[in-house]
């Protein structure tokens, strides 16, 4: 990580907090007919994004959660706040730690949803502790591998929905300005090991930089999948990766007890409601966002 990259990341956080007022999401034409999915929907940015979508009056909201009881409680709160019909929200099980769960969720989407207008793949992890998930380092697996597994499984449904309804479908993956601070040593070319195998090596893993690196990999993959998907001629779809900036949430639980972190969070963090506006903007944005990193509701090049 260069000094320039670190300064850029800090500038993004400070500038977003002090000088940017984010627009509140507004409903577009026909949103009452549209169907959206939010993963990790029972808390933090996922809950606030779900709240925005319900307030806008979406036809159907699928809340993907690891624990159904927590999801149902979150649904109850959203209905109480927005006054929407309980039938507009469904809570489905989804564990991004499990490929079987991701596949079962995607199969249910294909079988049960008449249309799919947007997916907010919000579920993610941030940890400096080494552990395995489906044989891979957990941050790499949840934030990158399982997220794009879900994308690829849902892509045919997204294309079919867009062709049939005329409403292009979007797949949105939250990002972070921390990608600028990602350590690149583990990405250096190696004749013997693939990048994934190197990142799965506990002995050499740089876990302090694993979350930023996972977000850099998300950005690389979003750009590549957007380019390849657009070239197939099988139907249009949008995949983008907006940065909600530093927000008050449960993501950084390992730092929550740090006095310095608490001070920085109090002064510089956006509320989860503010950060979720950026994510919902990505769900409603146009084709100019395909393959793009977004910050403060704008494409950033």
How do residues 90-142 score in pLDDT, each as one tens digit? 999 999 999 999 999 999 999 999 999 999 999 999 999 999 999 999 999 99
- Structure tokens belonging to residue 65: 């959660």
Q: How far apart are CA 180 and CA 190, in angstroms?
A: 23
Over residues 20-27, mean pLDDT: 85
Distances from the Cα of 89 to the Cα of 30, 48, 68, 78, 193, angstroms: 17, 14, 13, 9, 45
- Please, which pLDDT band fits residue 79 given cuts at 50, 70 and 90? very high
- Please, which pLDDT band fits residue 262 given cuts at 50, 70 and 90? low
Query: What is the domain partition of the chain in residue ranges?
Result: 3-288
Strands (E), 126-218: 132-133, 136-137, 170-172
The active-site residue out of 60, 138, 157, 215 is 215
Active site residue 211: yes
Over residues 232-237, mean pLDDT: 80
CB neighbour list of residue 166: distance below 8 Å, 6 or more residues apart: none
Across the chain, what does the average pLDDT equal? Answer: 90
Judged against a pLDDT cut of 60, whether residue 255 lies above it is answered with: no
Per-residue confidence (pLDDT) for residue 22, from 0 to 100: 87
CB 137 within 8 A of CB 187: no
Q: H helices of 57-183, where?
A: 68-82, 99-112, 138-140, 146-165
What percentage of the chain exceeds 90 in pLDDT? 74
Over residues 79-91, mean pLDDT: 97
Q: How far apart are CA 251 and CA 148, in angstroms?
A: 20
Over residues 207-214, mean pLDDT: 96
CATH superfamily of 3-288: NAD(P)-binding Rossmann-like Domain (3.40.50.720)
- The DSSP bridge partners found for residue 36 are 61, 118
Burial string for 192-202 (b: 16+ CB within 10 Å, else e) reads eeeeeebbbee
Q: What angle do CA 146, 152, 154 make, to 5 degrees?
A: 105
The active-site residue out of 151, 179, 211, 293 is 211
Judged against a pLDDT cut of 70, whether residue 163 lies above it is answered with: yes
pLDDT digits (tens, 9 = 90+) for 175-191: 999 999 999 888 887 66
**Residue 50: which H helix or E strand, with range?**
helix 44-56
Looking only at the bridges linking them, the beta strands covering 35-39 and 118-120 are: parallel
Task: Give counts: helices (H), strands (E), the chain.
Answer: 10, 10
Q: How far apart are CA 116 and CA 93, in angstroms?
A: 18
Listed range (137-146, 183-192, 249-258, 278-287) with the worst mean pLDDT:
249-258
- Please, which pLDDT band fits residue 68 given cuts at 50, 70 and 90? very high
CB 233 within 8 A of CB 164: no
């Amino acid at each position: 990580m260069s000094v320039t990259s670190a300064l850029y990341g800090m500038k993004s956080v400070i500038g977003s907090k002090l000088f940017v007022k984010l627009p509140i999401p507004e409903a577009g034409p026909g949103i009452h007919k549209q169907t959206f999915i939010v993963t990790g929907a029972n808390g933090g940015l996922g809950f606030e994004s779900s709240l925005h979508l319900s307030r806008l009056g979406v036809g159907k909201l699928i809340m993907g959660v690891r624990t159904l009881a927590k999801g149902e409680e979150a649904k109850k709160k959203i209905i109480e706040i927005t006054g929407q019909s309980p039938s507009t929200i469904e809570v489905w099980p989804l564990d991004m730690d499990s490929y079987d769960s991701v596949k079962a969720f995607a199969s249910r989407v294909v079988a049960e949803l008449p249309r799919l207008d947007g997916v907010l793949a919000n579920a993610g992890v941030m940890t400096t502790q080494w552990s395995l998930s489906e044989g891979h380092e957990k941050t790499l697996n949840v934030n990158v591998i399982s997220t794009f597994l879900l994308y690829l499984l849902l892509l045919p449904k997204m294309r079919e929905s867009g062709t049939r309804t005329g409403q292009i479908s979007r797949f949105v993956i939250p990002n972070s300005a921390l990608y600028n601070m990602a350590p690149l040593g583990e990405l250096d070319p190696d004749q013997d090991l693939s990048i994934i195998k190197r990142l799965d090596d506990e002995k050499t893993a740089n876990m302090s930089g694993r979350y930023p690196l996972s977000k850099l990999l998300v950005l690389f993959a979003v750009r590549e999948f957007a380019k390849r998907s657009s070239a197939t001629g099988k139907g249009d779809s949008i995949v983008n990766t907006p940065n909600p900036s530093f927000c008050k949430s449960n993501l950084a639980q390992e730092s929550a007890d740090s006095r310095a972190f608490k001070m920085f969070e109090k002064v510089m963090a956006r509320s989860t409601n503010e950060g979720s506006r950026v994510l919902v903007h990505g769900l409603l944005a146009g084709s100019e966002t395909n393959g793009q990193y977004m910050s403060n509701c704008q494409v950033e090049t």
